[in-house]
Amino acid sequence: MATCAGVSRRLAGGLHALLSQASFGSGPGFAAASRSLAKSRGDLGLALATATTTTTTATASAGPRGTSHAPPSSGREEGSPGTSRAYGSARTEKDSASTTYDVGCSSNIRWHESPVTRDARERQLDQRGCVLWMTGLSGSGKSTVAFTLEHLLQEKGKVCYVLDGDNVRHGLCKDLGFTRESREENIRRMGEVAKLMANAGIVTVVSIISPFAEDRDRVRSSLGADFHEVYVKVPLSVCEERDPKGLYRKVREGKIKGFTGVDSPYEAPRSPEVTLEAARGEPADMAKELYEYLEEKGLLKF
Amino acid sequence: MATCAGVSRRLAGGLHALLSQASFGSGPGFAAASRSLAKSRGDLGLALATATTTTTTATASAGPRGTSHAPPSSGREEGSPGTSRAYGSARTEKDSASTTYDVGCSSNIRWHESPVTRDARERQLDQRGCVLWMTGLSGSGKSTVAFTLEHLLQEKGKVCYVLDGDNVRHGLCKDLGFTRESREENIRRMGEVAKLMANAGIVTVVSIISPFAEDRDRVRSSLGADFHEVYVKVPLSVCEERDPKGLYRKVREGKIKGFTGVDSPYEAPRSPEVTLEAARGEPADMAKELYEYLEEKGLLKF
């Protein structure tokens, strides 16, 4: 990390743009012979090399769906016809030697396309991977609704996972605090993990205050049509009255500084896909509303 | 991140130790009333507060399985009897006000227990979440075997996802380079994401060089019995002969420094759960060997 300070911020503003092409042949060799076509975006400062040769049939396939270079429509077609021939092996060819490139601080890497497409994973689960991004004040009930939705989906045989902001700070993000920079990196990581889970075909529910529109918008750009913003709209006064963690009390006592909604801004979403209001009822009602949203969007079947 | 430089490294050496207890009641309120019991470990320097009051029936449940505080045996029981009552709501009680604590750089957080237990997720998928950690030299065929295994598992109706080192460097870890510190953080993040995926019930295959035993051992400690180390044992000479990415050539030409196996050490696992040797055949054979390992361990059924 030390060598790349600031790069995350710079990179977060854009999107890596990579198109990789790979085939899994049936030869006796070992690694997949592949042709990788990498495209750079000027705003990223990525140093990308393009491959020029290939020795086996290679068909186009995009990176993880939801990135700017792989819109959902094309993303759904991700993977190559060659995938049906996968679970075999392909010969490593020396002339694929220039198929690596740099992304951010990571040099000499390349995208490895799985022979199992996202479509195949989604077909298996009879659902579509997606991300419900629940944003709102502390105490607005994001996590309660998220977990209630998870339970409802599970009862219906759907595969869901909740990435809860607090929970992920116990592990992946425990090195991050609550400064502006740390919050930005926290949101970026949550977005990236959610992207991986959506790519795995899971209905992924992210429950996180995420107060800054800029940070949420970056995740939206990164995830594309997989991103569904859910604004849990509960007035500060109600959240403060609830105060489930006793945090508002601590804020009023001066024990916590920079608290969202009090002395740090909360930027409400301008065009969220769903707005949940406290007045609409119990968490179970809100979870049901989200369930119906997912159903309407065709995400609960393949 | 700026405020916490070095903390990641310090924290990585230990394990957060948290036991949270939560219940999902059936009251008309909103957030789950919970009692959280947090235990600190001296080597972490965590500032943890313990809750002293609760107003609804609370039953013990551990954090994500696989952590040192939640061994698999107890982890399998994670979640509370109250979970069957979930998809309801519980009243927020003011006297649960002191249930937050600090973890690393994250202050005033607490674990939110899902009403859907890991067991329930695994029962749904008829498999056990786990992590196959594939380590080996560049060019040893880790990713090829990993993706081939994914395909095989999918054909058998099992849910698998591959976290490929290069692929994750396109997103979550694109801010990390290849310095010792960056590699350590890279491995830590991969371990944390794998932990989340295993907790979601997925057979998670991590394909990453991970040259340092210390880094792998930290992940092992964090994941506990969920961690299965797979050593892809292929001699350097064979990897160099294959050179699928042309990296060894660049190393010999002096274009890449600090390359694992050449001018940076690769510390082979001392006691890997599985060792795959190139001499044993094709990637398909190796993938089959891993499949059989998973089967033997009872991980492919609930």
Q: What is the 3-state secondary structure (H, E, C) of chain B?
A: CHHHCCHHHHHHCCCCCEEEEECCCCCCCCCCCEEEEECCCCCCCCCCCCCCCCCCCCEECCCCCCCCCCCHHHHCCCCCHHHHHCCCCCCCCHHHCCCCEEECCEEEECCCCCCCCHHHHHHHHCCCCEEEEEECCCCCCHHHHHHHHHHHHHHCCCCEEEEEHHHHCCCCCCCCCCCHHHHHHHHHHHHHHHHHHHHCCCEEEEECCCCCHHHHHHHHHHHHHHEEEEEEECCHHHHHHHCCCCHHHHHHCCCCCCCECCCECCCCCCCCCEEEEHHHCCHHHHHHHHHHHHHHCCCCCC
**Residue-wise pLDDT tens digits, B186-211:** 999 999 999 999 999 999 999 999 99
Residue with tokens 């700026």: B2
Q: Which of B53, B103, B108 to mutate to test the interface with A (most CBs of A within 10 A)?
A: B108
**CA dist., res. A75 & res. B206, Å (int):** 23
Give how far Cα A176 sits from Cα of A184, A245, A246, A279, Å. 10, 20, 22, 34
Specify the higher pLDDT residue, A165 or A49.
A165
pLDDT at residue number B146: 97
pLDDT at residue number B280: 67
Kindly report which listed range (B8-12, B49-53, B150-154, B210-214) carries the lowest average pLDDT score.
B49-53
Q: Which of B232, B158, B227, B159 is nearest to B192 (CA)?
A: B227
User: Considering CB atoms only, which of A4, A63, A116 is closest to B177?
Assistant: A4
Residue A44 pLDDT exceeds 50: no
pLDDT at residue number A147: 96
pLDDT at residue number B22: 33
Is any Cβ of chain A less than 8 angstroms from the Cβ of B8? yes
* Average pLDDT value for residue range B106-116: 87
pLDDT at residue number A99: 76
Report which residue type is found at B32: A
pLDDT at residue number B200: 97
In chain B, the residue whose alpha carbon lies closest to the alpha carbon of A118 is: B161
* Average pLDDT value for residue range A284-297: 96
Q: What ipTM was reported for this prediction? A: 0.75
Residue B54 pLDDT exceeds 80: no
Specify the higher pLDDT residue, B175 or A29.
B175
Give how far Cα A301 sits from Cα of A119, A230, A257, Å. 12, 21, 45
Specify the higher pLDDT residue, B221 or B92.
B221
What band does B113 get if pLDDT is binned at 50, 70 and 90?
confident
**Residue-wise pLDDT tens digits, A130-164:** 999 999 999 999 999 999 999 999 999 999 999 99
Specify the higher pLDDT residue, B255 or B44.
B255
Specify the higher pLDDT residue, A141 or A11.
A141
pLDDT winner (highest mean) among A16-30, A272-286, B196-210: B196-210
Residue A292 pLDDT exceeds 50: yes
pLDDT at residue number B38: 31
Residue B149 pLDDT exceeds 70: yes
Kindly report which listed range (A31-35, A171-175, B161-165, B270-274) carries the lowest average pLDDT score.
A31-35
- Put simply, the answer to whether B144 touches A30 (Cβ < 8 Å) is yes
Q: Which of A289, A248, A296 is nearest to A146 (CA)?
A: A289
Q: Is A3 helix (H, G, I), strand (E, B) or coil?
A: helix
* Average pLDDT value for residue range A98-123: 88
**CA dist., res. A290 & res. A21, Å (int):** 36
A residues 187-246 closer than 8 Å to B (CB): 189, 192-193, 195-197, 199-202, 207, 222, 242-246
Residues of A in contact with B24 (CB under 8 A): 147
Kindly report which listed range (A141-145, A176-180, A203-207, B288-292) carries the lowest average pLDDT score.
A176-180
Q: Which of B245, B247, B248 to mutate to test the interface with A (most CBs of A within 10 A)?
A: B245
Report which residue type is found at A28: P
Is any Cβ of chain A less than 8 angstroms from the Cβ of B28? yes
Specify the higher pLDDT residue, B92 or B107.
B107
What band does B139 get if pLDDT is binned at 50, 70 and 90?
very high
DSSP code of A24? -
Give how far Cα B133 sits from Cα of A63, B43, B214, Å. 23, 26, 14
User: Considering CB atoms only, which of A108, A155, A163 is closest to B247?
Assistant: A108
What band does B107 get if pLDDT is binned at 50, 70 and 90?
confident
User: Considering CB atoms only, which of B97, B112, B246 is closest to A166?
Assistant: B112
Residue A237 pLDDT exceeds 50: yes
What band does A106 get if pLDDT is binned at 50, 70 and 90?
confident
A residues 58-87 closer than 8 Å to B (CB): 63-64, 86-87
- Put simply, the answer to whether B174 touches A18 (Cβ < 8 Å) is no
Identify whether A96 is a catalytic site residue: no
- Put simply, the answer to whether A86 touches B151 (Cβ < 8 Å) is yes
pLDDT at residue number B70: 34
* Average pLDDT value for residue range B22-39: 31
Residues of A in contact with B155 (CB under 8 A): 87
* Contact criterion met (CB below 8 Å) for A59 and A80: yes
Residue A121 pLDDT exceeds 80: yes
Residue A208 pLDDT exceeds 60: yes
Q: Which of A36, A61, A207, A210 is catalytic?
A: A210
- Put simply, the answer to whether A174 touches B105 (Cβ < 8 Å) is yes
Residues of A in contact with B278 (CB under 8 A): 30
Residues of A in contact with B107 (CB under 8 A): 177-178, 256
DSSP codes joined into one string, A118-137: HHHHHHHHTS--EEEEEE--
In chain B, the residue whose alpha carbon lies closest to the alpha carbon of A242 is: B92
Is any Cβ of chain B less than 8 angstroms from the Cβ of A109? yes
Is any Cβ of chain B less than 8 angstroms from the Cβ of A247? yes
pLDDT averaged over chain B?
A: 75
Considering only CA atoms, give the Rg of chain A: 21
Residues of B in contact with A177 (CB under 8 A): 3-4, 105-107
* Contact criterion met (CB below 8 Å) for B199 and B118: yes
* Average pLDDT value for residue range A285-296: 97
Report which residue type is found at B294: L
pLDDT at residue number A109: 85
Residues of B in contact with A109 (CB under 8 A): 166, 169-170
Kindly report which listed range (A59-63, A264-268, B232-236) carries the lowest average pLDDT score.
A59-63
pLDDT at residue number A37: 28
Specify the higher pLDDT residue, A62 or A298.
A298
Residue B25 pLDDT exceeds 80: no
* Contact criterion met (CB below 8 Å) for B103 and B16: yes
B residues 147-186 closer than 8 Å to A (CB): 147-148, 150-152, 154-155, 157, 159-164, 166-179, 181-182, 185
- Put simply, the answer to whether B108 touches A202 (Cβ < 8 Å) is no
Kindly report which listed range (A69-83, A156-170, B151-165) carries the lowest average pLDDT score.
A69-83
* Average pLDDT value for residue range A181-205: 97
What band does A118 get if pLDDT is binned at 50, 70 and 90?
very high
CA distance B284 to chain A (A): 6
Strand partners, A204: A131, A161
Q: What percent of chain B has pLDDT over 90?
A: 57
What band does A4 get if pLDDT is binned at 50, 70 and 90?
low
pLDDT at residue number A98: 54
**Residue-wise pLDDT tens digits, B8-17:** 443 333 333 3
What band does B131 get if pLDDT is binned at 50, 70 and 90?
very high
Residue B290 pLDDT exceeds 50: yes
